[in-house]
Amino acid sequence: MKKSLILLLSSLTFLLAVSACNKTKQFEKEEQAVIDAYLDRNSSLNFEKKPSGLYYLEVVTGTGRIPVKFDTVSLKYTGKFLDGRIFDTNVGTANTLDVVVGAPGLIEGFAEGITYMAQGGKSLLLVPSSLGYGSIGIPYAGISGFTPLLFDVELVKVKAGPGK
């Protein structure tokens, strides 16, 4: 009896895991369809798909310093959903987002994108959820799981890191 119960519970656990995996794959397919539709609607924007899955587009080529690990960068940015709704921005304020390159705290796709820029540059970053807020999202900020995001980023300043 005890072995039968353990076998039954193990089987149920396995079935739930397989079902969750199938749902994840379905959500990933739906997300890719949303990204593809955005790229089709905006075919004049020639995004480069990086090996990580980040879509990168340089809008204005920077002429200053290129940031490397441990440099501090000052950024102006606007974060949007692919339908154009803004969820976060510091544009129009005196504030910049100041972050250390390579330090934790930024979503992976945003952190990767700024490493392709030079001071004075502007870029668009289309960040799939796998490089953003993942399958969970940030519910309190209105960002659902499996949501691709678009960031309009300006690299205002690069300050050399320690020892440089």
What is the CATH number that goes with domain 45-159?
Answer: 3.10.50.40
Provide the pLDDT for residue 53: 98
**DSSP of the chain, one letter per residue?**
-HHHHHHHHHHHHHHHHHHHHHHHHHHHHHHHHHHHHHHHHTTTS-PEEPTTS-EEEEEE---SPPP-TT-EEEEEEEEEETTS-EEEE-TTSS--EEEETTSTTS-HHHHHHHTT--TT-EEEEEE-GGGTTTTTEEGGGTEETT--EEEEEEEEEEE--TT-
Q: Provide the residue-wise pLDDT of the chain in tens; the chain has 164 residues.
A: 555 545 434 443 443 344 445 668 888 999 999 999 999 999 999 999 999 999 999 999 999 999 999 999 999 999 999 999 999 999 999 999 999 999 999 999 999 999 999 999 999 999 999 999 999 999 998 999 999 999 999 999 999 998 76
